[in-house]
Amino acid sequence: MKKVLVTGGSRGIGKAITEKFLEHGYEVTAPTRLELDLLDSESIEKYVQAHKEDGFDIIVNNAGINDIHEIENITDEEIERMIATNLVAPIKLLRGFTGSMKQKKYGRIVNIGSIWAVVSKGGRCVYSATKNGIHGVTNTLAVELAADNILVNTVCPGFTMTELTVKNNTPEEIAQISANIPMQRMAKPEEIAEVVYFLCSEQNTYLTGQKITVDGGYTER
C-alpha cells in the first residue's frame, strides 16, 4: 500500500485530496498543526526524523497562506509567514523524504501552486512570489530526481468553492467572480483532487516538471 503525506489536509482542496487517496485505498497521513507546524523549523525536523525511516511514496505540499496586502502595507511577519509556509517548509519536507523515495526508486510529488503564479493581481506580491518559487522547486526536482522514477509536478488551482471561499465572500461576490470565469463557475475541490490523484497514480509514468492550471479557462481569457 502506497503511503501519502498531504499537508493542509483538514479542509478545502487538501481535504478533497486526502479523501480521494483514501477512496482508492492509499494510506494517508494529513498531520494537524500540533503534529507538524510548518512555521516551526524544529517541528518540521522532528516530524521528518519520526517518519524518515519508512518515508512516504507520495507527497502533496498543499498547505498555504495568502495574506492580501498592497506592497507598502505588508508587514515583516506576514512576509515571513507566507515564505515559511508556502516555500521553505515544502523544501524542508522534500529534503527530508526524497532520500527514501530514491532508495525505493519510486516517488510522486505534487506541489500546489496557484493561478497567481500564472497571472497576478494587486495585493499578492509575496504570495505570487512563493507560488512561482514552489514551481521552481518542481522544475529543479523533476530533473534532479527523474532517474530515480520520482515524478514532480505543480497543480495551480483557480477559484475554488471551498468553505473558506463561502465564508469570505457573499453570494453576490461569488456570482461576480464566477461570471469572469469562462466556465461560469468556480471549481469544486474534488476537481482539483482528481488532477492531483492522476499525477500521483500508477497511470502517470512519464509526466513530470509541469505546471498544470485548473481554472476553468480563467487565465486564458
Does residue 127 have an active-site annotation? Answer: yes
Q: Which long-range contacts (CB under 8 A, 24 or more apart) does 25-34 make?
A: 25/1, 26/1, 26/2, 26/58, 27/1, 27/2, 27/3, 28/4, 29/3, 29/4, 29/5, 29/56, 30/5, 30/6, 31/5, 31/7
Q: Which residues pair with 187 in a beta bridge?
A: 160
Q: Which of 26, 47, 106, 127 is catalytic?
A: 127
Do residues 86 and 130 touch, judged by C-beta distance below 8 A?
yes
Catalytic residues: 127
